[in-house]
Every structure is written in structure tokens, then in C-alpha cells.
Chain A
Amino acid sequence: MLGKLGLSAIPWSQPIPLITSLAVMLILLGVLVLITVKGWWPYLWREWITSVDHKRIGVMYCLLGVVMLIRGFADAIMMRSQQALAIGGPGYLPPEHYDQVFSAHGTIMILFGAMPLVLGLMNFVVPLQLGVRDVAFPTFNSVGFWLTASAALLVNVSLFVGEFARTGWLPYPPLSETAYSPGVGVDYYLWAVQISGIGTLITGINIVTTVLKMRCHGMSYLRMPVFCWTALASCLLIVATFPILTATLAMLTLDRYVGWHYFTNTAGGNPMMFVNLVWAWGHPEVYILVLPAFGVFSEIFPTFSGKPLFGYRSMVVATLFICIVSMTVWLHHFFTMGAGAAVNTFFGISSSIIAVGTGVKIYNWIFTMYGGRVRFEVPMLWSMGFIFTFIIGGLTGVLLAVPPADFLTHNSMFLVAHFHNVIIGAVVFAIFAALEYWFPKAFGFRLDGRWGTAAFWFAFVGFWVTFAPLYILGLAGMTRRLQHINFPEWAPWLYVSAAGVVILILGVISQVLELVLSIRRRDQLRDTTGDPWDGRSLEWSTPSPPPFFNFAVMPNVEGEEAYWGIKLRAIETQQLSPEPNYQPIEMPLDSPVGFYTAFFSFVFGFAMIWYIWWLAIVALVAAFAGFVVFAWRDEHEFEVSVDEVARADRARREAREAILARLARQEAAP
């Protein structure tokens, strides 16, 4: 009846996961009680859970990502403290638990922390920058988000019910085969990643279609903001490579569930095929994360330098160059696994060449700042910190791309330091820059920059104190994923690294404080203009927060930097463009189908993990039924009346006129 599930699945003898999950459940229960007592359920259901508004879905994606970043950071704290405490001793985490911690850390940070944040930013920003009212498939979008959220829930459930994989974030066979991982850990990994992978693919298809098919008047490809270009390139990679991941994990699932032999050591299987295929997805995945990060910086540098982006076209070419070349480098993750000189040379050279595209971008950003009037707001701090950090990370990457050098550093702490250097230095810095930058657009008030500045400096210094020692340890020969350390010589560097984590914790606290204090002071921080940073692209032409239909009338773009041109003209002529002839707008109806499908996908995943076959069948049928009912619905749009459109737009015009008047007064005063 309940398959493998029983009371023994709960880790009674392990206090750390037990107490953590009890605490999390208590907090969750508290939140649910609070929502019920305050009567917020109808609001949440109507405005958020069933919403198909790309802005709401983007915000929910980011919220999910931030929560999971904190979860992944908790794992990181445990890893660094374990290695500092386990020098010549056992430490406090037994090996089987430590293995789960580093596996969960990698899986969560990449697939459930960084990915939702990046997808959320693309969801929120791309339609606004393109001057359209929603993504191409709004309800599909909601399905994608909720699938990712239910997969994240599945990963967290593994903390309390059963265990997580002990195989690393990519479950290499034969270790991940049933013979060596008989527990449910790998199954949790497989089903969670499969479900979230489908969600990601859905969002990828959505953004590609939106960018290719739905731009406003005059928004030709070469007038799109660079963030839209990078979102397009990143989603092309999602569409091209996530099916590889799905297929590869499906093969491993068949090995585990029905005893087939794709990747086993025996009966003609070949574990190396898994390594090959998973990195054919895994390397483009890195660029799926980092390309939108480059896009964020390409928005922030021009805005806070008061200059157009230097070399717009070279930026576009570099983006597409990286998009293509990123699919020809995957072997550099396993240079040491037997390939001959020809193969290693090809992939080594292509890995080095990709740095050319990135180098072009770095110079463009630097030249954007050159001669500009740079404002050191928080997003700009993150961006400048990125340039410094990312250059070092890129240089160590080029070093690792040289096969002979890689033979010395493969799977060492040097590698660990390198990929944290690029992922934190580029992706995480970009995410925090972007959250600070677009927060007023999403919520209508700015974040208080003082704690944000503190958060940046703690993160920047903390990052280097944590990871610089790992470079040194790697060169000294320390391999990754060590549960205990037998060389007392390494102790000083491990202590320094652990101290760095303390600085990073201060950074996280500052970031949370910034958010909490800004929410409390939101009335003083209110953004009444809709354009708090003196922005250059179309999202800043809407009020903050934008109405659910984004634009009362579709913008007409007449050049690069769409909004900058409109703004300059308004300032020159001292008036806005004449009031347009408002028309009613058709908008998609909200739908619970995303939430419904994802709920049953969660049940399906859970049932498959625990071999509860009847429940899996029921859940699968129920999820499919939701899709059938949705496909046969009669009404899928509603009309927004002319009055409502006009009211929203007149309020916006009033705010803009106030800015014009203020600028005129400033001009008049000497």
C-alpha cells in the first residue's frame, strides 16, 4: 500500500536533519496559521497562485530562488565548518550525511536557487523591455513555475522523509546505480530534477517565442536591449540542451527502476556515456545561468554611467558566439577520463576560445563606464565587483581549459574555487544587482541602499576570504568532497575559509535586514516616477509597479534605447506625446491549472520515489485531467474597459508631467 515508505524513513537517529526539519515545519505551520487567521487565502489564491501575469510569476520565481539560496547556503556553512573541524578527526557530520550535504548543496544552488532567480528575472523583465503585455503563453508560464516549485518542495521533503543522493550534484554511475545507491536518495534527485527540468523547458520555450514573435512596434532585433538578447540566447540553450538532461536521467531511471543497463558496468552498459551526455547538458547549463547575468550588467552599466552601452552590436555577436560555442566544450569536464590528445586538444581550444566572447563583453562594460558620469548605487557596486571577481575566475578557467594543467587540478579544491568564482562572481552578483535594480519596478518602492551597500561589501570580501584559500589548497593537492582531512598543514587555510563564511553570513543578514527595513520604511522610499534610476529601456516608461496590462497603448520604438529617446524628446519639447486614443485591452484569464498540475506532479514524484505505484497512476491521471479540462475551456480572455486603461495611463502621465516640471525648475534655477 505505501511501497517502501514507513516510519523508518524518518531520520530519528540523526539530530541535525530531524531538528532542522521540525523547525522548518513549525515555521511553515506558523506562516499557514498566520495566513488563515488574517484571511489572506482568497487574496493569495486570486492574485498570486492562479495568476498568469508574467510579473507575478517572475516575482514568485525570485522568491523561490531566494528561499532555496538560503537553504543551499546552510549546506555550505555545514561543509566549510565540517572541513574546519574535521582536521585529523571525524568532525560532526558522519560521511553518509556529509555526502548528502554536498550533493544537496550543488543541486539546490544550481537548479533550485540560481535557475529560478534567472528565469524569474527573464520572466519579469523581458516582456516589459520588449513593450508587450505578457509572454507568448501565459498559462503555460504558470505551469512552468509551479512545476519548478513542486520539484523544490520534493528536494526539501527528502530532508525529513528518507534521504538525499550521496553522489554529488551530477549522479555519476555506477555509484548512482541501484547496486551502490540502493536507497531513495538518487530517486529523490531524479524525480525532482526531471519535474523542474520540464518546468524550465516550458519557460525556455515561452521566452524564445516571446522574443521572436512578440515585440512592440519598431522593436527590431537590433533595437532590443541586451538583456533580451541574452535571455533569448539562454533560452535557446535551454530548448537545445534540457532535453538531453531529461533523456539522460530517464535512462538512469530505467536502469534503477527496471534493471536496464545503459550505464551499468555489466551487461554492456557504459557509465562514461552518462558522463558524456550529462555534461553535454551541464556545460551549456552554466551559460544558461551566466548569459542573463551578462544581460543584467549590460543594463546596469549604461544606466548608472549615464551613457549608451559601448559596442552594442559586438555585445550581441559575443552573446550568440557564446551561445553556440558553449555547446562544443563539454569534454573539458572530463579531460582526465581517458580521451586521447586529439579530443582533449579540440575541447581545450574551444574552451579557451569562449573566453574571447566574454573578454569582448568585459571591455565593452569597462568602456561604457569610461567617460561616463558613474553613480555608485548598489547595483553598480555589484557590477563593478563582478568585473574584478569574474576576471580572476575567467583566468583560472582558461588555466583549467589547458588539458595538461587540468590533469593536476582536476577534481581538486582549485576547481571548486574556480567554479564558485565564476558562478558567485557573475551569476549571484548579477542576481543581487538585478534584485536591487528592478525591485522598485516590481513593488513600487526602492530598497534602502545603506544595508545593500553593507551586503555587497560583506559578500565581496567574504567571497574572497572563503575561496582564495581554496585555490591554494587545490594547488597543494587537496581534492574536493573530503569528509575529513588528514593533513594538519592544510588547517590554517581551512580556518581562513571558514572565517570567510562568517563574513558571508553577515552579508546575508545585511541583505535580509535591507529588505525588512525597506518594507517598513516603504512610504519614504516610494517610487512615484516609475523611473527611479534614470533608466534607458521601456520597462522604466511604465509606472512602478506597472498595471497588470503593462502598457495602456503599445509603445512605438524609433531607435536603440527605446525609452531614452522618448524621454529626451519629452524633456526637449517640455511636453509628453499627445494623449493617445485608448482602446479596450484583451488579457488572459487567470487559471489554477498550473498549481493543480504541479500539485499532482509532486504527488507523482513522491509516489515514484517510494514505489507507491497506485498513487503514481492516480496522480498522473489527475495531472493529465487538469490539462484536458483546461484545453477545452470556452473563455480564456477578458476585456479591460477603456475607462480603466485611460485611468491608469492618465495617472502615469501626471507623474511624468510632474517630473518634467521639476526638471524645468532645476534648469531655471542657476
Chain B
Amino acid sequence: MEKEEIVSRLTPVFRKVFADSTLVITDQLSALDVEKWDSLSHMLLIAEVENEFTIKFKLKDLNKMANVGDMIAIIESKL
């Protein structure tokens, strides 16, 4: 799967979880940039992303996700 496709499928997931219909995803985007992105919503996001791509993350993967770029790289490695 191309990176663009991953981004286009991730966007609605992010918009839904953070209830923000204008949210734009970039590689650098992180929890610091999104007000509602805290340790509670983070896990909801993880579960939604897993469903969207029918993949399973490992707990170790979570620690390596400092921003959306890292998340996309991990998703790519699982597809």
C-alpha cells in the first residue's frame, strides 16, 4: 500500500476519534498538536487504526510512535 493511501485512510479515523472534521495529518503531527489527544483517546485511536487496516500492533510498537510519521511507518511494515 502506498503511503498516500495510508494517509487517506488514516485521516477519517483521526477525524472521528478527535471529533475534528478539519484535522489534517502530517508526519510531524503528534499528541502535542492535538488538544484531545491524551493517554485516554490514544488507545481509542490505536484500536480504530487496527480495525481500519486489519492489523495488530504490539505494545512495543506503541512506544515507538512519537508522531504520525512513526505510526505510518509501523503500519507500512505490517501490511
Question: Do chains A and B stick together as partners?
Answer: no
B residues with a Cβ closer than 8 A to A are: none
A interface vs B, CB < 8 Å?
A: none
